[in-house]
Structures are given as C-alpha cells and as structure tokens.
Structure 1
Amino acid sequence: MRSQLSGAPLVERRSIDFIPENERHGRVFSQFTLWLAANLQITAVVTGALAVALGGDVVWSIAGLLLGQVVGCAAMALHGAQGPRLGLPQMLACRAQFGVKGAVLPLALACVMYLGFNATGMVLSGQALGQLLQVSAGVGSLLFALAVLLAASLGYRAIHRLGRAASLLGLLAFCYLFMRLLGRADLLPLLAANARFEPAAFVTAVSLSASWQIAFAPYVSTCRRPPRRRRWRWR
C-alpha cells in the first residue's frame, strides 16, 4: 500500500521502528536508483581496478568480475528473500543458525566489515574531493562526512532523491569517460594483444567481485511483517 504524502516534511519522523502500512510508499525503481548510486562510487571503482593492479589483464579481469557478480548476487539474493518471509533483519534471523549468544560473532564481524568499508570510502572520497577542490585530503574527508551526516539526518526521502541524482550523474560521468577512452585508443586490438589468462589473477578478480556483493548480505533482508497465513479448521 502506498500513501500520498503531499506536503510531507523533509525530515523523517520515523527511524528503525515499524512503518505503518498507510505511510509506506515508493516503487521498485526507487530501489534501483538507490542501489545504483551506492555502487557507482569511487570505492567500487578502486575495488574493480585491483583485479588489474594485482596482475590480471583487462579482458580476463572483466570476465572474472562479471562471474563474481553473478555468484555473489546469487548469495545476496537468498538473504534478501528471507526478509519478506521471516519478517526479520538478517542479523536477527541468523540466530536460528548460531543461537542467541552465538549470533554475536557474525554481528561483530559485520560491524568490523562496515567500519572498514566506511573508512575506505571516507579516505578515497576525501582524496578525490581534495584534488577537485584543491584542498587537503583531511578537509575533503571532513566535507564528505558532513554531506553524509546531512543526508542521514534528513532521512528516507532525501536519501532517495540523492540516489536518483547520483545515479544520473554517475551514468553521465561513466559515459563521458568511456567516450574519452574510445577517442584516445583503439580498444579492440589493444585488448586482444594483451589478453592472457592467469588462473591466480582470474580467481582474484572473481573473489573481489563476489565479496563486494556478499558484503551487502547482512542488511539486504528487509524488516517487514510476514504475510498472514490462512488457518485451516477441520470440520
């Protein structure tokens, strides 16, 4: 059910508590732009470039990254499907496998993983903003952190609007860079001349790509109530 939220405040009133049905809104396309914007960013670029930086060639690195995306996305999709069925976020659902006390271990690992992810993004974004604005990397990181805090404080609608704008900007930047690359080099002969298969580098590319997808698994499970089941009565 989707409500008409005309005149709704910019700052969200609710947080992680359960959202009533009459206040839920959005479309599937909103999820598309949100996740596209989350992946069209500098950390993803650096992660993909590591496949080549660690010794792989471009052709087989791209093939390995694509295979890793498929493998990692399959694992992430299984976690995402649990939310509507169980009505629990992933970290609570894993108590069925690890127990109430044992679930502390995957929770701690998830916290460490996301702290590292945020720290990496903060450093890379600070360096990029520093070069763009001609300031130090520390100042760039501070500006980036302030922008993130502002978006988070505004909440759901602001984050989705930012996701749509970032998706469009990211796609335009990708197309621009790709056209510049085509204008400076003849790609097909260059790629064919440097194509060489190295098992270790290929497995590294697959692992990098799969781990990027699997890292989203702890929170892709949406927290919502499971569908009501019909109660059968014996007559």
Structure 2
Amino acid sequence: MRIETRSIEFVPHSERYGRPRRLFTVWFSSNLQVTALMVGTLGVASGLSLMWTLAGLVVGCLLGTLFMAAHSAQGPHLGVPQMIQSRAQFGVFGAAIPLLVMVTAAVLFMAASGVLLRDPLKALLPVSDDQAIVIVGVLTMIIGVVGYELIHRLGAWMSLLSSVVFGSALVVLLVRAGVSATAQVDAGGFSMPVFNLVIAQAASWTLGYGPYVADYSRYLPADVRTRDTFWTTYFGCALGSLGMMALGATLAAVVPAALQVDPGTAVASLFGPWARAALLVVALGVVQYNVLCLYSAYMSTTTIFSGFARLQQVRQGSKTLLMALLTVLACAIAVHTQYHFDRFFADILVGQLYLLIPWSAINLVDYYLVQRGRYSIDDLYDAQGRYGRWNRGTLIVYGVSIIGTVPFMKFSFFEGYLAQRIGADISWIAGLALAGLLYLILHRGQALSGRRKPLETGGGGVTSAR
C-alpha cells in the first residue's frame, strides 16, 4: 500500500484494480458510526413511537440511497472524481458553484465530527477539550493523505469491528431493558408531520454522499457492470445507515436517559469493563467518516482551482498542504463553537442539502438520460472544449430549482408555506423532481433522439455507460 499519487486526473486503465464488493465495506462502515445513530434518535425524541420511527427510517434510507448509488455507478466508467464530471453539466468554471457548497458542507461535517469525538477521546486519553479536537484532525489528515487504498482497507476492518460493537450493544440494550422495555417501546404514537420528518432526515443523510461517492469507485476497472457497482454501494450504505439509525431509535425508546450524555459514551457504557475498548472502536468509526469528508473537501477544492488554472495533476506536497489547511479550518471552527455547536450548525448542515440535491438531480439526468454515459474526458479539463466555461442553461435550472423548493424548506428560523401546510420538510423530493424535470426539458431533444455526433477526443478518450 503506497501513498496515493492521483487526485483529480483521469485514472488510466492500466492502474485500475479491485472489485465492486469493496464498495460495500467502505459505505457500510462509514455509516456504522454514532453520527448516524443520532439521526435515528430524533423521531422518538419528537414523540413518535419506536415502530413508526423505524418505519420512517426504512423508507428514508431505502429511497435516499437509490440516488447515492446511482452516482457511485459513474465512477468506474468515467475514471474521474464525481465533481470533475459535473463540468459536463455546469461548464468547467460553472462547476465551481456547487463545488463551493460541497467544500463548505464537508468542512462543517469535519468540525461536527471533532466536537462529537471530543468527550470519547477525553475518556481514553488525558487531554483537554481543544487537544481532543486537534487529535481527531491529525488522525483524519494522516489517513486522508495516504488516500484511496487506506480508506478502503480501513473500511473493511471497521465493518467487522463496528458490527461486533454495535451489534453487541443492541443485544445488551435489549437484555438489560427486559420486560420493562415493552411499555417504553409502545410509548408515543403516530404523527404524520414527525413521520415525514423522519423520512426526510434519513433520506437526506444518504443523499448527502452523492457529490463524492464516485471518488471511491473511480479506480475500479472500466469493464465492471454498472449494476454490480450500484448494488454493492446501495446495500452497503442502506444497511449501515439503517442499522445505526435503528440502534439510535431503540436506544432513545428503551433507555432515554442514555442520550443525556455523549452518544459514543452511552454506547460504550453498555459494555462495563470493556467500555474503553468499545469506545476506541466508536472513535475510529467517526474518524473514518471524517476522512471521507476531508478527502472529498480536498478533491472539490482542487477541482475549483484546477478549472481556472487549467491544472490536471496535483503534486504530493500541494495535496498535503491543502489537506492540512482544510483540517486546520475544520479544527478552528470546532474549537471556537464546541460549546454551542448545535445552535450554529444544525441549520447550516441542513441547508447544504437544499443546495446539493438539485445538483444531484441534474447530474443523474444528464448521465443516465441525456448523455447516457458518453463524455469526452479531455474536454472536462479544458475550458475551451465542448463543455465551455459556464453553462448558463444549467446554472439557471440550478438556481430556479433552489428557489422553487423554498416553500418546502424548514429551518429553525424559517418554515415555508407548503412545509407548514404539509407539516414536514419534503424539500428533498421537490428539489430532485424540479431540477431533474427542468434539466430534462432543457435537453429533451438529446434525451428523445438518443443520437449524438461522435465525440472527438485526445488521450483521455470517450467513456460510455455499460
């Protein structure tokens, strides 16, 4: 295993390796951690019964992961990072707009992970609050610099370790609760607004991986079947996220007092004398998720600069420096806001999804219905090429789609008219439908004919979906 030297450039076919099954472990393990657990607690905490909460989580996870896995299937056939491919829709310069949203979201999630891991690390090491956050950042950066292969190997090991810890936690939880659990499980009732909210939260969690999921499949050989890439990603993400969210919902219903402390500490406390070992696995799981955020923030930042500077490769020193800067920024945000983090970032993190979901719809419609996987790789790196600098039509569709979903949005400080009438935030559905439909109308001629002029390319060639 060597330090990854590739970044935003096309991965040559001679360097492709691996099988789609490794996508299962990387997405299963990255979801099998306490951040996803917290999403599962929200329905029960809002008064919904455990059974209805679990039903909402199932619907949300299974729906949201469909779109995430569809992005993953692009990786082997294009051989480029996910957001580089967005230049085909937005233009080489225009892609910087959704990329900025992606970088912001990734850095904020890194900061959130640092705050979330602060107390577990303090339970393991004699460090201060700030030092714990910095340690998380350093570990994240080291793994991120090594890159792709280490991320996948860590995913394989964490799939095993996290399954043992969190699976055992569920068993211990149910055994300890005993007969008294029955009344607590039946507590609460049904509320359509809360049920819809649970679906939206679960779907948004998996949809959030869309802008960078193909970064972890782009090294696979180009001849792998699309359905293999899709389903291994789908089941890995869906089972991992649903398993952790279900554990969170059960924890909230059966032992609600456990959620008054840090979620990682609450899970580890179930293991008695083995609590420190369990806490170590919990911490590593969040670090792994943090690495995905850093790696993707780096890829997106590099894509922005490379578009304007006409770069196709990034040196190792530049990669390390950029990852260090992103890590420092995330740590600074976490340290500065750690004692009132929720107040500042709950709305911001949700807001990123409002901006990224229309991008997802545009990207998927273009890949599967308009271009059908045929792209000129060379032109993705050339502002003078077929994709141009700015694609005004796509940018208008993107802007109109965001504005069109405002009535469906729901923040702590703002609730759209339709969100009030429906009683839930379904802006993710509105964003997907509106952006996808408008983009398809814009390119209806290409989508209906299925015939395009042959693409003239250089060394990068043309890639097409299988």
TM-score band w.r.t. shorter chain: 0.7 to 0.9
Distance apart, 1:194 and its partner CA: 1.3
Tell whether 2:87 aligns with 1:79.
Answer: no
Q: Give the counterpart of 2:159 among 153, 157, 167.
A: 167
Question: Equivalent residue of 2:11, what SS?
Answer: coil
Structure 2 SS opposite 1:46 = helix
In the other structure, the counterpart of 1:155 is: 147
> Which amino acid counterpart does residue 136 of structure 1 have in structure 2?
S
> CA, structure 1 residues 70+34, in 2 after alignment: closer, same or farther (shift >3 Å)?
same
Superposition CA RMSD, Å: 2.8
Which deviates more from structure 2 when the two are superposed, residues 89-98 or residues 178-187? 89-98
DSSP-derived class of the 1:27 partner: coil
Could you tell me how far 1:86 is from its partner in structure 2?
Answer: 4.9
Contact 2:50–2:186 (CA<8 Å) still a contact in 1? no
Match for residue 122 of structure 2?
130
Aligned-pair CA distance for 1:72: 0.6
Deviations 1:81-100 (A, max 9, x none): 34445555432333444444
Instruction: Tell me the CA shift for residue 181 of structure 1.
Output: 0.8
Q: CA 1:86/1:99 → structure 2, altered by over 3 Å: closer, same or farther?
A: same
CA distance in structure 1 between the partners assigned to 2:176 and 2:206 by the alignment:
32
Find the counterpart in structure 1 of residue 198 from structure 2. Answer: 205
**Of 192-201 and 117-126, the range deviating more from structure 2:** 192-201
Q: 1:27 to 1:123 in 2, by over 3 A?
A: same
1:62 aligned onto 2:54 = yes
User: Normalising by structure 1, what TM-score?
Assistant: 0.80
Name the CA distance, whole Å, in 2 between partners of 1:136 and 1:60: 40
Q: Matched residues in 1 for 2:53 and 2:136: separation? A: 31
Percent identity of paired positions between Structure 1 and Structure 2? 36
Partner of 1:214: 207
- Give the direction of change, closer, same or farther, for the CA distance of 1:82–1:155 in structure 2 (3 Å limit): closer
Cα deviation, 1:52-75, whole Å, max 9, x if unaligned, reads 334433221121111111111112
**Residues 29 and 156 in structure 2, CA contact (< 8 A), matched pair in contact too:** yes
1:192 CA displacement: 5.0
Which residue of structure 1 lines up, in the alignment, with residue 412 of structure 2? Answer: none
The reply on whether 1:11 has 2:11 as its aligned counterpart is no
Separation (CA, whole Å) in 2 of partners of 1:54 and 1:115: 28
Shift in Å, 1:178: 1.1
**Alpha-carbon displacement from aligned partner over 1:193-234 (angstroms, at most 9, x marks no partner):** 2151111211111111111111111112354797799x9xxx
The structure-2 alpha-carbon separation of the partners of 1:169 and 1:84, relative to structure 1 and needing over 3 Å to count, comes to: closer
The answer to whether the 8 Å contact 1:130/1:139 transfers is no
Partner of 2:137: 145
> In 2 relative to 1, CA 25–143 (structure 1 residues): closer, same or farther, beyond 3 Å?
same
- Separation of aligned partners in 2, 1:115 and 1:51: 27
Query: Aligned AA for 1:146?
Result: V
Q: Which residue of 1 aligns with 2:97?
A: 105
- Of residues 153-162 and 64-73 in structure 1, the stretch that sits farther from structure 2 once superposed is 153-162
For CA contacts below 8 A with separation 6 or more, give which structure has more relative contact order: 1
Q: Give the 3-state SS of the residue equivalent to 1:218 in structure 2.
A: coil
Q: Secondary structure at the match of 2:18?
A: coil
CA distance in 1, matches of 2:185, 2:117: 34
5+ residue gaps, structure 2, are 224-372, 375-453, 455-466
Where does 1:25-44 land on structure 2 (aligned, <5 Å)? 25-44=17-36
- The amino acid of 2:26's aligned partner reads L
The match for 2:186 among 182, 193, 197 is: 193
Maintained 8 Å contact 1:43/1:120: no
TM-score calculated relative to the size of structure 2: 0.43
- CA deviations on 1:165-203 (whole Å, 9 max, x unpaired) are 211111111122112112111377235521511112111
Say whether residues 1:182 and 2:174 are aligned partners. yes
